[in-house]
Chains A and B, each alone.
Chain A
Amino acid sequence: MSAPTTTRPRSLPPAGLRRRRPQEAAGAPLLLGHGRLPRVLAGGALGIFALLWVLPFVWTLITSFQSERDISSPGFNPIKGALTLDAYRQVFDRGTLPIWAFNSILTAGLVTLITIVLSTLAAYGFSRGTFRGRRALLAVTVASIMVPPQLLMVPLFQEMLAFNLVDTYWAIILPQVVAPMMVFILKRFFDAIPRELEEAARIDGASDLRVFWSIVLPLSRPIVSAVSVFVFIGAWNNFMWPFIITSDPDLMTLPVGLATVEDAYGVAYAQSMAAAVLAAAPLIIVFLFFQRRIVKSVATTGLGGS
């Protein structure tokens, strides 16, 4: 029961109020003091780390603009090679990447949408509800956070066989919409919202659903968007379940398609890297735009995807 109490509740309710100033300004003299040397050393260390982390991306990008023949010639130095878009052209000619990207967007989008609807409703029900069995149901839900999804693979596969859903979008989506962790995070948030507002609306004759929709949800926008971000990243990157449940290349998600079918690239490293760049781009671009919000999301939920 107490397993996930790690969500740092104190940071939840007033998250917006407590950030007094942009983080860029804070920190420096507090951690380092005012000397010059420490700053130089810290900057150097940070630079080395960042370089190590960026290097694989750089190497990937460079490779993707080379020709296959150049790469496989011995003693080849990618940095000096002539640039070409051939690899990208070949990847597009195969035509599989857009299909997988579409499947990923579709399934991850639906997983996120359904998860948010189910989880916010359930979390609100758990937070405000008084129905019998509420505590027991909540306890079971919270306990299930510990269950590793891999434990369910074999029986879930059988279940999908029985439902005749193997190799369908729904088979990919349905098991992923059960997100007890998100229910728990949302419930903690709802618990912290004062009830006075809701009572007032109720006296005016609003139904429970109405109260939830027009009062509670608008107040919860930050946490709901945080949870959405993590559910989406999780579903977008999920590998094992979609891998087990789909064998039709037209239904595969990006990670599954790349890992299984693109094995056919074999030694075609330029194409392989071009495909990697194309598959990596969407989420990284999204992150560039929503950086601040995503960083804040981690702070508000205290937890995230898988």
Chain B
Amino acid sequence: MSTTASKVPVTEEAGGSTVPAAPARRRRTGLFFVLPFTVVFALFMVWPIVQGIWMSFTDQSLSLRGTEFVGFDNYAEAFGDPDVWSSLGNTVFFTVISVVPLVLLALCMALLVHTGLAGQWVWRLAFFAPYLLPVSVVTMIWQWLYQPDLGMFNQALDKVGIAPVGWLSDEAFAMWSMAALTVWWTIGFNFLLYLAALQSVPDTLYEAAALDGAGAWRRLFSITLPQLSRTTVLVVMLQVLASLKVFDQIYIMTKGGPNGSTRPILEYIYDVGFTGYRLGYASAISYLFFAIIVIVSIAQLRFMPRKEG
């Protein structure tokens, strides 16, 4: 930073006093500001991306034997690998069952809180607090809640006379359990986005509608929800991408089990790369997954309402 400081003023004086020197100065203005970021960006973003692409065309592994160029072999293998397809299927399933409540419930909560009932900070804290927890704390808590004999859920079921459920051990329930945990954990962020959006809806709209005799439901559907459409698009986009990238909580709690029924694609990549030591193949699957993310992003952008002004 000190080097930037010493260099910039020199050009500064030259450019400031005489008009012809200006273009020379202009060519470099701002460069030194961007430089430090660009260095780490190149080192820890661009280089790994390039390196990963190269790796995906080799049979590189964590063991010490030599690495050979294998062309598209890894990609071909990925397309024929049933584990890729099943983990991808799990990921999509998780995304669907988590995005819907994470958007709709967040909207309901924000609307309810925005009605201005007493104790605003209590509501905000209750819904947002879980978002502040590190993933391992969340999994510790929920491991205990889901505990088969003593956990809160099965004790509650027991009270009403329902047989205990294997929340994490039953293939039919495991993914739903992970989705429930994720909704509890991360809904606070979407909730805050909606709350912020609600607060920026101009009061005059409601006042005008009230004068026209529009009832509460009418105002909700004709004013509030339309005003929130941009936020909804944003929330859905962010949420879909976040859900597709699920890994941490599932890896910690079920390691993808039972029977691979909760294993998301990122965990498969991790298993192949860091447990199976097949870095080249892991890279190839990563890039296929990235391609999916890009396609999903572009598809979603097409639904993005055009910006006014």
Contact = CB atoms under 8 A, between A and B. Distances in A.
Contact of B134 (A8, A150, A254, A295): A254
Contacts of A42: 112, 115, 117
A55 interface: yes
A155 B48 contact: yes
A276 B137 contact: yes
B262 interface: no
A299 B234 CA distance: 13
Contact of B147 (A35, A202, A269): A269
Nearest to B112: A46
A53 B206 CA distance: 31
Interface residues of B, number: 119
A150 B251 CA distance: 14
Interface residues on A, range: 35 or more
A56 B48 contact: no
A8 B199 CA distance: 14
Interface in B139-155: 139-145, 147, 149-150, 152, 155
B37 A283 contact: no
Given A46-B123, A125-B33, A129-B29, A280 B137 contact: yes
Contact of A258 (B124, B137, B304): B137
A299 B231 CA distance: 11
Nearest to B32: A125
Given A31-B224, A255-B136, A124 B33 contact: yes
Contacts of A208: 8, 12, 29-30, 32-33
A53 B184 contact: yes
A256 interface: yes
A113 interface: no
B91 to A, nearest CB: 12
Chain B's interface: helix, strand, loop or mixed, by majority?
helix
A77 B158 CA distance: 12
Interface in A286-306: 287-288, 291, 294-296, 298-299, 302-306
A49 B144 contact: no
A53 B198 contact: no
Contacts of A148: 241, 245, 289-290, 293
Interface in B1-59: 1, 4-5, 8-9, 12, 16, 26-38, 40-41, 43-49, 51-52, 55
A54 B115 contact: no
Interface in A40-83: 42-43, 45-46, 49-50, 53-57, 59-60, 63, 71-72, 74, 76-77
A272 B199 CA distance: 40
A36 interface: no
B147 to A, nearest CB: 7
A183 B37 contact: yes
B283 A54 contact: no
A28 B116 contact: yes
A306 B123 contact: no
Nearest to B235: A6
Contact of B140 (A33, A76, A275): A275
A214 interface: no
Given A122-B34, A152-B49, A146 B216 contact: no
Nearest to A161: B62
A54 B168 CA distance: 22
A174 B40 contact: yes
A126 interface: yes
Given A122-B37, A129-B29, A177-B44, 13 more contacts: A26-B114, A49-B112, A57-B129, A130-B26, A130-B29, A151-B49, A153-B269, A159-B51, A177-B40, A255-B134, A255-B137, A284-B132, A287-B132
Top-4 shortest CB links A-B: A129-B30, A125-B33, A28-B116, A122-B37
Interface of B: 1, 4-5, 8-9, 12, 16, 26-38, 40-41, 43-49, 51-52, 55, 105, 108-109, 111-117, 120-130, 132-137, 139-145, 147, 149-150, 152, 155, 184, 189, 192-193, 195-196, 198-200, 203, 206-207, 210, 215-216, 219-220, 224, 230, 233-234, 237-238, 241-242, 245, 247-248, 252, 266, 269-270, 273-274, 279, 282-283, 286-287, 289-290, 293-294, 297, 301, 304, 307, 309
